[in-house]
């Protein structure tokens, strides 16, 4: 065993010296690479198999025949993976380089190819080509050379090639090297790298790719190479020509990554590849090429609806085209200030609403990004959009209009400020073009106190929403409110909206419409009598009225608002179409000014007629 071990050491030592003798002296700073040279007629290809990544501007390729020496620079005299190279281009594992001009090898003269790393002045690969033999001398490499790179070819006494004809009196045997040049039938159409890194989750990536697969295609290899922490490098293999690969290690935030997507044949040879460099920081790299297919689903329109009240709340309205290939749309509501509040929701409809995101109290005012992702039937990310917003109850600027010709719309709206002792609002509306009607939503948000707000919905196309109860909102009289009345279509998309800001002071905001129609009930006569007794400080009013057009009549309601003492305010109601003594009484408040409003309400709960006056209680001369 000792003698055998000594013999192995001697053989390895002698063999190593012989190999290095065929290569120019190299220094310790020379790169470690495994390269492969293929010469086919006038075509030369240099393939990078393994090892260090090279900067194209630092590598030269020198070709020598009997009469001619030609020097090429990888950075200026050719292309890498079919794209024009620059001095800053990277040449790494899986990449292939070709010179821009044809080379002069015709198969007759010996042809020498040297690959030189110029900063270290080292020949890192040497290959000699003749018609009957191939001699290659690799430079320093981290791995053995492949053993399945050649196949014998036999020619007859007259052999014809694409570049020249050779005549001989005897049979000649040639050896042809298998090429890693991308054949016309297999090519990478596009690559999209999404940086999904977060501080809490570590470095993360999703790579979507599309390969035009020919008969030689076997699989796709995606290498996530961490240039700062080699242990974090991972390789994922997929058999689908169109698909995706993911990377998640729970660390590596801020590290440099080189991501290589390579299409391979059954022998593991690289048919085509793309390399994208990135820093794991959550921002996508600029080198993404996209995944072009004419029938891919696309985001036609998107609108982020900010429903923030006590805690951030959102929904997304969207429309996607080419829906026959749509598998899913996902929305990540990303809280940039509190990552724990980030959540993702999804849907499959081509047009609709993704709703239900709400965060804990205290996230109002946080910065958000809504990241919209569209996936095709292969699960590939084909479209992406980001909408930024502050969670403040105000929609971001730039939302798309998702209405269409058949969408419903508001024919009229009324927002009544009924505040007396506390804030009190109701909203009335009428909807036209109801074939695609979905519902109406009233959103009442207190700008000064978040506890006094709410969201209410109705499925009636003509109705009054009066759920915002005054008694539930103590101390809110005079506060400012942000009020939104939204019309939703059958897909849940907001297609019409009225937004007002109002102080809760019993003064209606401007812009109200009249919602009466032919046949609506109306006041035929109305009389308000002040019967207050000042000596007893007793407020008393009597209301007499007659209503005509009673087929849609519901009730009459009379509001009495005391301007000086709101607590002395009140309301009385009657379902009679004619009333001779509808009375309002209060045990104090004489001498105060009352705003009195007589309102006729129809069967939809809408005020269709009203009579308004002011009076000083107990002033007989008023």
Residues of 8-39 as b/e, b for ≥16 C-beta within 10 angstroms? eeeeeeeeeeeeeeebeebeeebbebbbbbbb
Average pLDDT over residues 434-447: 94
Q: Specify the CATH number for the domain of residue 80.
A: 2.60.40
Model confidence at 465, in pLDDT bands (50, 70, 90)? very high
The pLDDT of residue 611 is above 90: yes
How many Å from the N-terminal Cα to the C-terminal Cα in the chain? 126
CATH number of residue 347's parent domain: 2.60.40.2550
Same domain, 342 and 379: yes
pTM: 0.63
Q: Residues 445, 394: contact at Cβ < 8 Å?
A: no
Range of the domain at 448: 409-504
What average pLDDT does the segment 218-222 reach?
96
* Ranges 134-148, 221-235, 301-315, 498-512: which has the least confidence: 134-148
Opening angle at CA 150, ends 149 and 154, nearest 5:
165
Kindly give the residue spans of alpha helices, DSSP state H, lying in 294-417. none
Which carries the bigger pLDDT value, residue 4 or residue 301? 301
Q: Is the pLDDT of residue 275 over 50?
A: yes
Q: Please determine, for residue 242, whether its predicted confidence score (pLDDT) is greater than 60.
A: yes
User: How many CA atoms does the CB half-sphere of 14 hold within 13 Å?
Assistant: 6
| pLDDT of 3 strictly over 80 | no
Helix H or strand E segment including 8: helix 2-21
Which residue in the block uniquely carries the two structure tokens 């009385």? 572
Domain ends where: 471, 504, 537?
504
Residue 204 tokens, joined: 């993360």
Same domain, 40 and 116: yes
In a domain, 287, yes or no: no
> Do 267 and 310 belong together in one domain?
no
In terms of pLDDT, which residue wins out, 393 or 620?
393
Q: In 3-state terms, what secondary structure has residue 131?
A: coil
264 in a structural domain: yes
> Residue 8 domain-assigned?
no
- What CATH number does residue 203 fall under? 2.60.40.10
Residue 136, token pair as written in the block: 């290659």
Closest CA to 203 of 283, 273, 140, 298: 283
Of 90, 113, 129, which one is at a domain's C-terminal end?
A: 129
Q: Which residue, chain included where needed, has tokens 């809408």?
A: 606
Task: Judge whether 118 lies within some domain.
Answer: yes
Which is more confident, 7 or 259? 259
Task: State the average pLDDT over residues 75-95.
Answer: 88
Per-residue pLDDT at 470:
59
Average pLDDT over residues 102-111: 66
Asked if residue 372 belongs to a domain, the reply is: yes
DSSP assignment letter at 351: E
Residue 468 neighbours by CB under 8 Å, 6+ apart: 423, 424, 425, 426, 442, 444, 454, 456
Confidence bin at 18 (pLDDT 50/70/90): very low
Q: Is residue 292 included in any domain, yes or no?
A: no
Q: What is the pLDDT of residues 26-56, one digit of tens each?
A: 456 788 888 988 877 677 889 998 888 899 9
**Measured between alpha carbons, how far is 293 from 382 in angstroms, rounded to an integer?**
9
Q: What is the pLDDT of residue 109?
A: 59
Q: In this model, does residue 212 exceed pLDDT 80?
A: yes
Whether residue 20 lies inside any domain: the answer is: no
Q: How many whole angstroms from its chain centre is CA 450?
A: 30
Please tell me the least confidently modeled range out of 90-104, 118-132, 430-444, 448-462: 118-132
What are the distances in angstroms from CA 40 to CA 133, 268, 491?
14, 21, 61
Least Cα distance to 359 among 303, 304, 309 occurs for 309
Is 79 in contact with 115 (CB distance < 8 Å)?
Answer: no
Whether 1 has a pLDDT exceeding 70, the answer reads: no
The tally of domains found in the chain comes to: 5
Least confident of 184-188, 308-312, 339-343: 184-188
CA distance 45 to 49: 12
pLDDT, residue 39, reads: 79
Is 269 in the same domain as 337? Answer: no
Q: What does the DSSP 8-state code read for residue 25?
A: -
Same domain, 526 and 612: yes
Band (pLDDT 50/70/90 cuts) for residue 458 is very high
- pLDDT, tens digit (0-9, with 9 covering 90-100), for 385-430: 999 999 999 999 999 999 999 999 999 999 999 998 889 999 999 9
Among 247, 280, 313, residue at a domain's last position: 280
> What average pLDDT does the chain have?
84
**Chain centroid, CA 207 distance in Å:** 14
Q: How far apart are CA 83 and CA 62, in angstroms?
A: 21
Instruction: Kindly state whether residues 275 and 207 are assigned to the same domain.
Output: yes
CA–chain centroid gap for 378, Å, is: 18
Query: Is residue 311 one of the residues assigned to a domain?
Result: yes
């Amino acid at each position: 065993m000792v003698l055998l071990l000594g013999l192995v050491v001697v053989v390895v030592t002698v063999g190593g010296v012989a190999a290095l003798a065929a290569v120019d002296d190299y220094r310790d700073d020379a790169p470690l690479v495994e390269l492969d040279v293929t010469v086919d007629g006038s075509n030369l290809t240099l393939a990078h198999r393994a090892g260090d990544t090279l900067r194209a501007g630092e590598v030269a390729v020198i070709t020598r025949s009997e009469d001619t020496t030609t020097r090429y620079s990888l950075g200026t005299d050719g292309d890498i993976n079919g794209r024009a190279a620059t001095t800053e281009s990277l040449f790494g594992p899986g990449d292939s380089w070709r010179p821009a001009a044809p080379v002069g090898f015709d198969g007759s003269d010996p042809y020498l190819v040297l690959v030189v790393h110029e900063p270290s002045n080292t020949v890192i690969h040497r290959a000699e080509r003749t018609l009957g033999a191939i001699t290659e001398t690799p430079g320093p490499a981290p791995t053995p050379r492949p053993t399945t790179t050649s196949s014998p070819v036999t020619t007859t006494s007259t052999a014809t090639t694409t570049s020249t004809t050779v005549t001989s009196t005897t049979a000649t045997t040639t050896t042809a090297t298998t090429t890693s040049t991308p054949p016309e039938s297999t090519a990478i159409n596009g690559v999209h790298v999404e940086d999904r890194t977060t501080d809490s989750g570590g470095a993360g990536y999703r790579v979507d790719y599309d390969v035009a697969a020919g008969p030689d295609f076997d699989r796709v290899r995606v290498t996530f190479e961490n240039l700062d922490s080699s242990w974090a490098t991972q390789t994922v293999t997929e058999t689908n020509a169109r698909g995706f690969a993911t990377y998640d290690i729970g660390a590596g935030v801020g590290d440099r990554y080189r991501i290589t997507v390579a299409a391979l044949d059954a022998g593991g040879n690289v048919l085509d590849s793309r390399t994208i460099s990135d820093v794991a920081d959550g921002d996508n790299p600029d080198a993404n090429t996209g995944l072009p297919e004419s029938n891919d689903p696309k985001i036609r329109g998107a609108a982020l609806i900010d429903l923030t009240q006590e805690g951030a709340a959102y929904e997304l309205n969207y429309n996607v085209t080419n829906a026959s290939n749509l598998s899913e749309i996902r929305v990540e509501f990303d809280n940039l200030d509190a990552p724990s509040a980030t959540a993702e929701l999804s849907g499959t409809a081509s047009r609709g609403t993704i709703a239900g995101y709400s965060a804990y109290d205290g996230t109002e005012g946080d910065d958000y990004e809504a990241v919209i992702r569209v996936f095709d039937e292969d699960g590939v990310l084909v479209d992406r959009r980001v909408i930024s917003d502050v969670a403040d109850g105000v929609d971001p600027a730039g939302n798309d209009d998702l209405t269409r010709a058949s969408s419903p719309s508001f024919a009229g709206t009324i927002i009544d400020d009924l505040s007396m002792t506390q804030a009190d609002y109701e909203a009335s509306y009428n909807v036209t073009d109801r074939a695609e009607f979905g519902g109406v939503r009233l959103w009442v948000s207190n700008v000064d106190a978040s506890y006094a707000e709410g969201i209410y919905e109705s499925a009636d196309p003509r109705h009054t929403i009066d759920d915002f109860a005054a008694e539930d909102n103590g101390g809110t009289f005079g506060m400012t409110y942000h009020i939104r009345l939204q019309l939703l279509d059958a897909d849940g998309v907001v297609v019409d909206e009225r937004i007002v800001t109002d102080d809760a002071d019993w003064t209606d905001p401007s812009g109200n419409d009249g919602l009466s129609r032919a046949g609506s009930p109306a006041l035929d006569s109305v009389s308000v009598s002040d019967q207050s007794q000042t000596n007893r400080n007793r407020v008393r009013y009597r209301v007499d009225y007659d209503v005509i057009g009673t087929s849609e009549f519901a009730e009459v309601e009379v509001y009495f608002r005391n301007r000086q003492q709101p607590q002395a305010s009140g309301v009385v109601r009657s379902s009679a179409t004619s009333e001779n003594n509808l009375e309002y009484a209060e045990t104090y408040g004489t001498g105060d000014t009352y705003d009195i409003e007589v309102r006729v309400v129809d069967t939809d709960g809408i005020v269709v007629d009203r009579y308004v006056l002011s009076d000083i209680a107990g002033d007989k001369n008023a």
